[in-house]
Structure formats: structure tokens, C-alpha cells
Structure 1
Amino acid sequence: MAESLAGAPSLADRAQQILHTACQTVGLDHRGAELLRLRSNAVYKLKDPIIVRIATAPTAAEWLPAVLAVTRWLDQHGFPTVRPTDHITDQPLMCSGVAVTFWDYVPASDLPSTTSELGRLLRDLHAFPTPPIALRRLVDPLASLRANLQQHPDNLTPSERGWLSHHITDLTEQWEQLPFVGPPVLLHGDAWIDNLFRHRDGHVILGDWDSVALGPREWDLIHSHHGQTRFGLNQHDVDAFTTAYGHDLRAWPGYETLQRIRDLYAVSIHIRNAHGDPFSHQELRRRMRSLIEGTTDRWYMKPT
């Protein structure tokens, strides 16, 4: 049975243990590893340099083979994506029930990527044919939230659980009635500006494909609009994204409903990680308070 990294007393301490074991297994040196991110994955940069991603989701081993296959396929077809390390072929690696993957390091520029570049990449991605890979279909974007609410009820108060349960049911029903335009496309699934990296040579690369799926293009587009509502993007950022993609989601009749679904979706990872990660515990409190009170308070991706 798969275990969850998030159930440990300290998410960071548990990740360090897994990192040590995983690197020993494949013959890499974990000493001096730099923790880059701790959220849906614990992401480390090794001195080699290689990126190690340690999944916090207990079911990650079920869908990571498709993630690895899609990124290799996209790279072969010229799409600018992160790619799994070639010399570690047996991925994902399972360590104490936790899924670990290894990726080529992208030497980064100090220049930030832009929402215009993200819009162009998503336009190109959505024009790709369906890859010859068994991919998940996005038919229920709140499934992970529903599961985390059931598996980690103690990370919420009774009133918060009741509020979430009601709104999950309501918005799931509304999702099923949304007037999506066009056939399903290849979705990145978490198409947010922070997942776009600028290589030292100047070009941009799209990373973090854990949510890749087939589904309505509107799901990839809503992330940048939601970024203006919650994560500090401004009107210019969103307008530039819309112009580059070539379609204005704000004119679509399902826009407001999809914004509310994306709002709810954004608490799921923090329900899962709140027990072992102080930032997730704090951010869960912030997001639940904002949702219940109906405010548009700023949310955060990392400690400030």
C-alpha cells in the first residue's frame, strides 16, 4: 500500500530521509542537496546537478509513469519541457512507499518568465495531438480535495469540514454543466507562471507536469486568471497571457464558476500537508478563512 510523505511528524525531515535512501539506491550523492520547494513535492537540487522530486501524494506512483512518458514524448517532439534524467531509467523509484523521480537540472537565468510566454506555450501545447500514452482524464477537478478531506479530517474544524463538503458537492455538479468549447486537449494541469523556468540561454521551459491530463482547455487557462485573484498577478499580466494565447476566457459563460472551482481546488494540498508542514498549516487557515468569509485575500505559494 502506498504511504504518504505528508503523514510524518515533519514533512521536511521525512523528505530528507527519503532523499538519502533514494540517492543511495541509484548511486547519487545527496550531500549538500538544496531544498527548492516543499509543497506537492519535496524538490531538491543535487550537486551533480540533478533535480530530485519526492511526492507527498500517497497515490503518486499510479500516475507518475504517465508524467515521465509525456515529458519524454513532448521533448522528442520539440516542446520545451523539463525531462527525466536519462541514466536513471527505472522511475519512479519507490522508497518506503514514497515515489521519487529524477530530472535534468535547468540552469536558470535571473530574468523572470512572463505570462505572455506561458500563454504562447499553452497555445502550442493545446494544439498537440493526443500522445500515445495512457493519460488521466480530467472529469472531476475536486477529486483530490474530496479525498484529502476524507483522509485528513483532523486538519480542519468541524465547521470547515461541513462548509467544504457542501461546496464540493455544489461545485462538482456545476462543473458537470459547464459549456466547455471544443474537444479535450493535452493539459498541463497546473499551468501557473511559477512552473515556467527561464533557461540561462534565454528560452523558457515548462515544468511540474504532475497534473498532466486530457481535458478542457479552460482548466489550463483559469490558473492565470485565478493568479490575479489570489496570488499577486496584475491586470497587465492576465491581459498579456490572454493576448498570447489568443482566447479571452473572461468572455466565456462558465468563467465565474470555474474561478470558484479553482479557488476550492487550491486548498487541497494544504489539507494534506498541514500536519507536517508549518507553512501549509498557516496557509490552510488563511485560505479557509477567506473562502468562508467570501473575501479575496492574497494567498501565498511559499513562506513570506
Structure 2
Amino acid sequence: MTPEELAARTRRAVEAAVRAGRDLGLNVDHGAVLHDVFSVVVHLRPEPVVARIPVVLTGSTQPDRQTARQQRELDVVAWLDTQGIPVVRPSPLVPRVPVRRDGFSMTFWELADVADDHQPYQGVEMSYSAELHQALAGYPGKLPFLAPFNDGLPDLLARLQTVDVLTPTEIDRARSDFDKLQQLLADRAAFESAFPGIPVQPLQGDGPSHNVIRTTSGIRFADFEDVTSGPVEWDLALLGPDAVAEYDHAAHERGLRRTDPTVRRLMDHARRLQFVGCLTLVPQLPVLADGLAEVLADWRSTPAFE
């Protein structure tokens, strides 16, 4: 997409959010963009409400599955809030459901009092992830198993022939890796059969140590779009040995298990493959090309999954 097309997409998303907010009874004067990457995040001024509108989807593009994904996020975050976990909460000023308007599906959140030192995707100590996992383990709702791997990635991999930075041999390798990984990760039963001693639990699903907002009242977890169930190793995939050691120490202090090296390697393979699939999204989000270059080089230098 050209810069003009990207700007037009953002503008349409903002307009849809403003109209949706007004339909819900909010007194919206205009929308101010706070963030614009995979989702357009819009402050519906002057209300203390933020709309998040996904525009580049890593999950299924089917409307019913996208809505179900967003509802899971709203439900889990609302529950975490009742448990005293610091999260950016769903807005109490509108119903806690996704809203579809003008071709966009969106959710509504409280406006966070962002601190001056906040930077998007800046990580925090791994003790926060251990704390979050400890809380999520008690979530009573049903969640799909490894949704980031099983929902959406097959569609992305099916379009790999559109990616000009991959050779036919690499495309074949990616699809072969997925088939082999799916034998272990297609569902909870397959994983537990292969790793009977590794518990499965609710997870944030997308690197919780980096999906936080620094507010004037402290760290708050955000962006649970990929909330899922699986081994905790998924939330630590590709973070490196120092981060893993820090997590293991924090987990042990809380009476939780340390991570398993074999499962970590498995999750690293699956996560790399997810990023390879995201190469198909570059036309929709050109900035991804630079961000994925390092991961692509890492995947190329890593032996195929066996």
C-alpha cells in the first residue's frame, strides 16, 4: 500500500470509530490517533474512551472468528481487573462487546493516563509475566489452544507464494515445518500427549513483557488480542536466555514451575514460523519489512523442524 492508501485506511478507521461511539451514546467530538500499526488506536475525544480497530489481521479474517477473538480479549481483561491485576480495562461506558461498523470490527477501552516515559513495546522485568501467568491460571473461561499458531497462520502460509523474498524451497520448508509442528500443537490433546508433564493454562499470547503501558500509576498490561491457552513457554518464545532465566527465577519465587528447555525450543520454532507467515502482510503494512528482516534471517539460519 502507498502512504496515501495507508493514510486513507487510517482515516476510514477513525471515522468508523467516531460513528460507532456516537451510536453507543458517547459524546464524541472527534477521534485522535494514539497508535497506528496493526491496529488504529483512537481516543474518542473528549470522552475517556479509546477505540482499537484492527486493520492488519494476524488471525482469521472471517468476521465471526474475529468477533469471537475480540470478545475473548474483553472477557479475560475484565476478569483480570476483578482479580486486582493492573490492566487497561474495557470501557465501562459502553457494552463490553465488539462493534462492527463500516467494515471494521472494534473494541472500546478506558483511556490510560500514560506516563511521560512510556514507549511502545518497551519491555519490563520478566517478574511481571510470572505475576500475570499466576493470575491467568485461575481464569475460568474456555480458551482455544495456541490460537496465534492455529488460527490465521494456515491462511498466511497458504499465501507465501506472494512473498518475493522467499524462494520456492523456503516456501516448501515453511509449509513442511508447519505440518510437523501441528502434529504437536494442533490441539491441547496432541500437546499433552507429547509433553504429559507440562501444564496448559491461559496466556496473554503475544509477549506480555512487551505489551504493557507505563501509566502515572504504574505498569498496566494491555493488548490481549492473542489471548489463548498453552504452555507458558509460548509467552516467552524468542526472548533469549537472560529473559528466560529472569522469568524462571521469578516463577520459582512464586511457587510456579521453571520453563522446560524442550518446550521452549518448540515454541521458538512455532513463533519464528508465525513471523514468516506475517511476511504476507507486508503489502498491507510496509513497515513490517524491516521489522521481520532479522527474524527471517534467524529462521533461515535455524535448521528445519524435525
Q: Secondary structure at the match of 2:149?
A: coil
Is contact 1:116–1:243 with CA below 8 Å preserved after alignment? no
TM-fit CA distance, 1:20: 0.9
Residue type at the aligned position of 1:74 = L
Is contact 2:282–2:288 with CA below 8 Å preserved after alignment? yes
Residue type at the aligned position of 1:29 = D
* Matched residue, 1:107: 113
Q: Secondary structure at the match of 2:126?
A: helix
* Matched residue, 2:99: 93
* Matched residue, 1:15: 10
Is contact 1:142–1:168 with CA below 8 Å preserved after alignment? no
Residue type at the aligned position of 2:126 = S
Residues 157-213 of structure 1 show CA distances to partners (whole Å, capped at 9, x for unaligned) of 4524223112211222344454153543121111332212232123x2211111112
Rounded to whole Å, the distance in 1 between the matches of 2:171 and 2:123 is 37
Aligned in 2, Cα 1:248/1:43: closer, same or farther, shift over 3 Å? same
TM-fit CA distance, 1:286: 4.8
* Matched residue, 2:131: 121
Residue type at the aligned position of 1:108 = V
Is contact 2:80–2:87 with CA below 8 Å preserved after alignment? yes
Q: Secondary structure at the match of 2:202?
A: strand
Q: Secondary structure at the match of 1:107?
A: coil
* Matched residue, 2:183: 173
Residues 227-252 of structure 1 show CA distances to partners (whole Å, capped at 9, x for unaligned) of 23xxxxx72x4432221122432x54
Residue type at the aligned position of 2:99 = L
Residues 121-151 of structure 1 show CA distances to partners (whole Å, capped at 9, x for unaligned) of 23422431x42x4432337824422111225
Aligned in 2, Cα 1:126/1:75: closer, same or farther, shift over 3 Å? closer
Residue 260, structure 1, aligned to residue 269, structure 2: yes
Residues 271-298 of structure 1 show CA distances to partners (whole Å, capped at 9, x for unaligned) of 2x21122112344455334422439xxx
Counterpart selection for 1:209 from 187, 201, 224? 224
Is contact 1:108–1:198 with CA below 8 Å preserved after alignment? yes
Q: Secondary structure at the match of 1:227?
A: coil
* Matched residue, 1:163: 173
Rounded to whole Å, the distance in 2 between the matches of 1:281 and 1:116 is 28
Rounded to whole Å, the distance in 1 between the matches of 2:148 and 2:41 is 27
* Matched residue, 1:277: 285
Q: Secondary structure at the match of 2:90?
A: coil
Give the TM-score, by structure 1 length: 0.76
Once the two structures are superposed, the pairs formed by residues 3-42 of structure 1 within 5 Å of their partners are 10-27=5-22, 28-31=28-31, 33-39=32-38, 41-42=39-40
Residue 141, structure 1, aligned to residue 156, structure 2: no
Residue 188, structure 1, aligned to residue 204, structure 2: yes
TM-fit CA distance, 1:79: 2.2
Aligned in 2, Cα 1:108/1:135: closer, same or farther, shift over 3 Å? same
Rounded to whole Å, the distance in 2 between the matches of 1:17 and 1:64 is 20
Residue type at the aligned position of 2:217 = D
Rounded to whole Å, the distance in 1 between the matches of 2:205 and 2:302 is 26
More RCO (CA 8 Å, sep 6+): 1
TM-fit CA distance, 1:152: 6.4
* Matched residue, 1:70: 76
Rounded to whole Å, the distance in 1 between the matches of 2:79 and 2:163 is 39
Residues 30-51 of structure 1 show CA distances to partners (whole Å, capped at 9, x for unaligned) of 34x1342402x23234443432
Residue type at the aligned position of 1:193 = S
Rounded to whole Å, the distance in 1 between the matches of 2:137 and 2:205 is 15
Q: CA RMSD in A?
A: 3.1
Is contact 2:205–2:224 with CA below 8 Å preserved after alignment? yes
Residue type at the aligned position of 1:83 = R
Is contact 1:163–1:292 with CA below 8 Å preserved after alignment? no
**Unpaired segments ≥5 residues, structure 2:** 23-27
Rounded to whole Å, the distance in 2 between the matches of 1:174 and 1:186 is 18
Rounded to whole Å, the distance in 2 between the matches of 1:153 and 1:291 is 17
Rounded to whole Å, the distance in 1 between the matches of 2:224 and 2:250 is 21
* Matched residue, 1:227: 239
Deviates most, 83-92 or 148-157: 148-157
Counterpart selection for 2:296 from 268, 274, 288? 288
Aligned in 2, Cα 1:153/1:92: closer, same or farther, shift over 3 Å? farther
